[in-house]
Amino acid sequence: MLRRYPVKAMGGESVEIAQVDERGLVGDRWFAVVDDEGRFATGKDSRRFRRHDEIFDYRALTTLTGGVVVRHADGAWPVGDADLDAHLSERFGEPVRVLPEQEIPHYDAAAVAIVGSASLDWLTQQTGGPADARRIRPNIVLATDEPFVEETWVGRELKVGSVRLRVTERIERCRMVDIDQDGAVADSPWLTLLGRERDVCLGVYADVVLPGLLRSGADATLL
């Protein structure tokens, strides 16, 4: 499975094919909702982020012409439309704008987020509920047989289709995994379980070594 998120923290889209450049999946998290202090709207507070859970009510999709449209129960607007910024500002209770990436990267730590299917299956077994990958907002879900085997790939290169990635670190999770988002319902708690069993980690980050084309279902090979 491949997923892309045109606007950081908003719901994203499943894609069958994605071009990958040095930055990551082309168009992924290229835009973010930014306040007057330059902080990005998401589900947590930090030096870089401002907590606005309202953002999870929005979904961003790439159009056939390469633009981005944001959808909400109240309507739909192209990114760059002043009405979109006005709607977000009213919902968030402060002035915000949807802006493209500039000096500060929109990514949390690395270009690509990966999780193995067996790790999600482990969550299903532990919680008794469905482990919807959208709760952790991955770019790539790889078919695996062993839970958390992707963590053993840190420091190694991975070839997926024509793309080569270098796995850099485990992904430490936060409260966002237990929030309804991206069309997924958080009907079973994950964060406490991950804290107890997995050092609050699930999935891995990777940097791009060789750009290329990703296809959903492509074989992955450790190099």
CATH number of the CATH domain containing 127: 2.40.33.20
* Confidence at residue 45, expressed as pLDDT on a 0 to 100 scale: 87
Q: Is the pTM of this model over 0.75?
A: yes
Q: What phi and psi values does residue 122 have, to the nearest 5 degrees?
A: -60, -45
Which 8-state DSSP code applies to residue 125?
H
- Supply 122's token pair: 């482990």
Please tell me the total count of domains within the chain.
Answer: 2
* Confidence at residue 9, expressed as pLDDT on a 0 to 100 scale: 96
Q: In what order do the strands lie in the sheet with 96-100?
A: 49-51, 40-42, 31-35, 96-100
Q: Is the dihedral of CA 110, 107, 48, 150 positive or negative?
A: negative
Domain assignment present for 188:
yes
User: In angstroms, what CA-CA distances link 20 with 106, 139, 147?
Assistant: 16, 11, 26
Residues 78 and 28 in one domain: yes
Residues 13 and 76 in one domain: yes
* Confidence at residue 108, expressed as pLDDT on a 0 to 100 scale: 86
In terms of residue numbers, what domain contains 94? 2-100
- Supply 36's token pair: 């007057």
Whole-number Å distance between alpha carbons of 102 and 86: 22
Closest CA to 190 of 112, 135, 137, 153: 135
Place of tokens 């606005």: 52
Chunked into runs of 10 residues, the chain (223 residues) has average pLDDT values of 96 96 96 96 91 97 94 97 98 97 90 97 94 96 97 97 96 95 93 96 98 93 94
Q: What phi and psi values does residue 173 have, to the nearest 5 degrees?
A: -95, 165
Residues 10 and 56 in one domain: yes
Residues 90 and 140 in one domain: no
* Confidence at residue 77, expressed as pLDDT on a 0 to 100 scale: 98
Which of 100, 131, 164 is at the close of a domain?
100
Domain assignment present for 107:
no
Whole-number Å distance between alpha carbons of 154 and 195: 20
Residues 94 and 142 in one domain: no
Cross-strand pairs, 60: 70
Residues 194 and 169 in one domain: yes
Please report, as a single letter, which amino acid is at residue 161. Answer: G
Which of 78, 100, 122 is at the close of a domain?
100
* Confidence at residue 103, expressed as pLDDT on a 0 to 100 scale: 87
* Confidence at residue 104, expressed as pLDDT on a 0 to 100 scale: 86
Judge contact between 113 and 15, C-beta under 8 A.
no
Domain assignment present for 11:
yes
